[in-house]
Structure 1
Amino acid sequence: MYILVYVDDILLLGNNPDMIDNVMKQLATTFRIRDLGLPRFFLGVEAIYTEGALLLSQRRYIAELLKKAGMGTCKDVSTPMAYNTAVTSDSPLLDDPTAYRRLVGSLMYLLITRPDLSFAVNRLCQFMHKPTEEHWVSLKRVLRYVQGTQHLGLRLTPAPTPVVHAFSDSDWAGCSTDRKSTAGYAVFLGPNLVSWVSQKQRMVARSSTEAEYKALADVAAEVTWIESLLRELGLQSQTVPVLWCDNLRATYLCSNPVFHARTKHVEVDYHFVRDRVSTGQLKVNFVSTHDQLADIFTKPLATKRYCDLRFKLGVVPCPPSA
């Protein structure tokens, strides 16, 4: 049995109903508790049960967010960021950045069930200290996208075996301000997306290979932690996790013990992934750019490409609430 506690909200999970009832009775002898049955809402996240799947949605939270922003009836857009449009710091600063910071902070909580917003929110977060009028326009576009997609949620389905695999990608020197690369990854447990990140790398990469290799190191650390968690939960997989990367040189670097001239300056901690590959604890395979699911975390995309990747990540329409 597992107990998830957040202040006075508790989830009980187990494979023995009698044991769950017994723990509930023991808790009731010390605390005032109510058994609400199957989880419906937990910390603003709605659980929707359908045949063969569980959908996690934050549509009530979205409605409150849009109302707070005064954009409950705004015209929607198909993507959170315009394709091939960079966010810069050239326009005038906002007179009062409070509203910008508050709304971006609210969007960050929405990432619990909406991985499709990760790149846009990450980009907006980079200008929290000095937001400009252009950043405010970009924020409003994200809210317009949220307004038109508030019916979407994250789908989770049963998996026969706990097979872990991940996609890693990087947009080399994608930031026009400091030329740092944006990296992203998506980690799956069976068909379910369980972890995702979109973040700017700490240092400027001298090549696309270096940027992709650093991104692989980050996702290798995340997969290692997820495997450790699964072992603790008694769900250890019998297969080696596979990392999918769309840069051939980066995949070769993971298995080649020779330090090439173009990568010998790379910090030692990034070679963590090579160590895991050499001991057989990870596999790094090549995937075509077309099939790279982490592409959505590293750059703005055209509408069709964006919607295709969003669906493959498991972000799908939710049925109406009962």
Structure 2
Amino acid sequence: MLVYIDDILVIGSDQDLVAQLMSKLSTAFKIRDLDEPDFFLGIETIKCDDGILLSQQRYMNDILKRAGMAECKELSMPISISKTVPFNADLYDDPTQYRSLAGALQYLTITHPDLSFAVNQLCQHMHAPIVSHWEQLKRVLRYVKGTVSFGLRIRKSLSRELHAFSNSNWVGCLEDGKEHHAFSDSNWVGCLEDQKSTSDFALFLGSNLVSWVCKKQRTVARSSSEVEYKALADVCAELIWIVSLLREIKVTGIFVPKLWCNNLGATYMCANPFFHARTKHVEIDYHFVRDRVASGDIHVNFISTKDQLGDIFTKALPSPRFFFSYRQLHVTNIPCA
């Protein structure tokens, strides 16, 4: 039972038990049974042949209307990889509008993981957005216009394997420099303003994406391996929580989670104590990854960069790579029955 203020979502495998619970709730509270969920907290549930599509189409249209861009020209990419984009450092004259729209886009990433990196970049400039930040926000809104019918596809899956892809972009942000399935990835020194890197992970249960993150790391890393290692710590904590949750709700047959990372140095550090002599400067809380590997709670494996799904969360990608990544995350507008 999921409760948010006065909205309640009840899910169960036994319809009789669900009916009993609803009956008991109705004796204590004034509630209304709306039958099967079709709209919950701004997210529409659309039935498909093999599962459901989670859509925020109404919410997306509302954002476009608020921005005065309901009839804007569509774009197929949220971020340009062109290095010739004009830069204007003048402060944007309506920062309140910028903050409002950037905040609204954050909620949209619930069903649009493909927007995570672009929105993460926008939200780093809430305090003093400049004209170029506003231009980038408008580009994201034009991408939203072009993907208004898209949503997150959840399919029936017999597999109960947990896979996580970890990735990071070492100082990939031109402003401060932090990085990041579990697919784990990071962008080393992604931001040149504070030399912090961007980290991300994507976590799959069976074939379905169930958790993802794109965020700037708290500290400055001295190497790409350290950045990736920190990203692995983040996804390891998420994996442990997901496994604990699944056990709590009596899901059985959970295999040892597999964590995929495209950095050999970080992979070796998880398994070989010798490498830890060269990472004494790394905060101790990140080393719990190795303990989990040693205890058999997770398996860390190397994955080729070309197969790394986390890139979409840490950097601007060329269109073929971007389209491949979001299809793998099951962001789609496939017609539903």
With the shorter chain as reference, the TM-score category is over 0.9
Residues 24-56 of structure 1: per-residue CA shift (max 9 Å, x gap): 222222322222111000000000111111110
Q: TM-score, normalised by structure 1?
A: 0.95
1:84–1:300: 8 Å Cα contact kept in structure 2? no
SS in 1 for 2:36: coil
Instruction: Name the aligned partner's letter for residue 49 of structure 2.
Output: E
- Following superposition, the deviation at residue 5 of structure 1 comes to 1.1
Code of the residue aligned with 1:154 in structure 2: it is L
Matched with 1:134 is 132
Shift of residue 126 of structure 1?
A: 0.6
Determine if the alignment matches structure 1 residue 195 to structure 2 residue 211: yes
Residue equivalent to 1:255: 271
Stretch of structure 1 that moved more, 37-46 or 198-207: 198-207
Q: 2:25 aligns with which of 24, 27, 39?
A: 27
> Relative to 1, partners in 2 of residues 1:314 and 1:260: Cα closer, same or farther, differing over 3 Å?
same
RMSD: 1.8
Q: 1:1-322 alignment to 2 at 5 Å?
A: 3-85=1-83, 91-167=89-165, 168-260=184-276, 262-319=278-335
Q: Judging changes above 3 Å, is the alpha-carbon distance between structure 1 residues 299 and 84 closer, same or farther for their aligned structure 2 residues? A: farther
Aligned partner of 1:174: which letter? G
- Change in Cα spacing, 1:39 to 1:226, as seen in structure 2 (3 Å) is same
Aligned length: 319
- Find the aligned partners of 1:26 and 1:214 in 2 and give their Cα distance: 47
The 10-residue stretch of structure 1 (5-14 or 245-254) with the greater mean CA deviation from structure 2:
5-14
Residues 66-104 of structure 1, C-alpha deviations (whole Å, 9 max, x = no match) = 001100111111111111559999601122300000000
Q: Secondary structure at the match of 1:166?
A: strand
Taking the aligned partners of 1:19 and 1:173, their CA distance within structure 2 comes to: 52
Aligned to 1:185, what secondary structure does the other structure show?
A: strand
Unaligned residue ranges in structure 1 (runs of 5+): none
Deviation at 1:6, TM superposition (A): 1.2
How far does the alpha carbon of each residue in 1:96-146 deviate from its partner, in whole angstroms, 9 at most, with x for none?
300000000000010111100000000111110111011000000000000
What residue identity is the alignment partner of 2:67? A
- Percentage of pairs with the same residue: 57
Which residue identity is paired with 1:26? K
Report Cα offsets for 1:230-281 as digits up to 9, x if no partner. Answer: 1111114441101000011110110011245542211101111111001111
Contact 1:254 1:284 in 2 (8 A): yes
Displacement, 1:318?
4.8
32-41 vs 50-59, which deviates more?
32-41
Distance 1:289 1:151, change over 3 A: same
- Of the structure 1 ranges 233-242 and 124-133, higher mean CA displacement relative to structure 2 is found in 233-242
CA contact (8 A) 2:159 2:207 kept: no
Contact 1:217 1:270 in 2 (8 A): yes
Q: Deviations over 1:206-241 (max 9, x none)?
A: 111111111111100110111111111111444110
One-letter identity of the residue aligned with 2:109: L
Change (3 A) 1:21 1:261: closer
- In structure 2, runs of 5+ residues without a counterpart are 166-183
Relative to the length of structure 2, the TM-score reads: 0.91
Q: Which amino acid aligns with 2:194?
A: D
